[in-house]
Amino acid sequence: MQVGNKRAVSFFLGLLSWGVALVFFFPIFWMVLNGFKEEIDANTDPKIIFDPTFDRFDEVTSQTQGLLGFREAFMNSVWAVSISTILVLVLAVPAAYALAIRPVAKWRDVLFFFISTKFLPVVAAILPLWIIARELDLLNTRLVLIILYTAMNLPLAVWMLRSFFSEVPKELIEAAQIDGAKLRGQITSVILPIVAPGLAATALLCVIFAWNEFFLAVQLNPVDGSTIPIWVTSNVSTRGNFLAKLSAASTLATLPVVLAGWLAQKRMIRGLSMGAIK
């Protein structure tokens, strides 16, 4: 293929990629745009030029629609997501080390056992979970969400970290052992600095999955433990189409994970591509 043809193909593929990206991004862009509109502008013909206002954001953050307000729901989500993610990493790192560096007998069966816990539909498990939470007096608390989010994300974290740990050169670990490094020293001084991008990618995915989780939160924490997804649904009204108000609430709910992804994008890309090129 000639150089000119290669450039034309590259230009076409680049243009196509931008087109696909804009198609996927447009609903988010329109949601954010509607959040700065008056209700009459958001519910009529689409308008690009309008007088922006923060009234809808003030409205959704200052009013409480029968459940907790934005600040309470936001802090519930922050506590549940951050603590569960930390617990997932604390538990997944030694498990992944054991499966990748010092694999036990039938380690593939162990991996399958971890991932098989994701096969069960959550709706099939909600009744026994609700009964257990009621008996332990955990309904409407952050603690029950921390426990469930940890269990929900742990299998994924073990699978991902195991693949990242497998890419660590065994020679480095053997050299650390020769230098007298114990197990803790090997993990903290040798392995974790190498797999830091993979660790960041795993943590970010756990944060996204836990932040967006709705079903468990709405069943086990309908009032005092309401999270951001439940708070967003509280802004849906049967009195009319309050599209601007709902768009403002959705924008506030989306912003934290978007910022987290933007801040960690370099490490996440490196982490997800580890092992792709030998």
The position carrying tokens 């990618």 is 201
Tokens of 277: 């090129």
What local confidence, expressed as pLDDT, does residue 278 receive?
A: 43
Q: What is the reported pLDDT for 240? A: 63
pLDDT for res 163: 83
Residues of the chain under the 50 pLDDT cut: 275-278
Token output for 17: 């990629």
pLDDT at 64: 61
Give the three-class secondary structure for 200.
helix
- Structure confidence at residue 267 (pLDDT): 62
Are 73 and 227 in contact by the 8 Å Cβ rule? The answer is yes
Query: For position 149, what pLDDT does the model report?
Result: 94
pLDDT score for 273: 57
Residue 67 pLDDT? 59
Count of Cβ atoms closer than 10 Å to residue 90 Cβ: 10
Reference 230, options 3, 70, 9; nearest CA is 70
DSSP 3-state assignment of 85?
Answer: helix
Q: What integer pLDDT is reported at residue 210 of this predicted model?
A: 93
For residue 277, the model assigns a pLDDT of: 44
| Cα distances (Å, whole numbers) of residue 15 to 11, 143, 156, 187, 255 | 6, 48, 34, 44, 28
Q: What is the pTM for the complete model shown?
A: 0.83
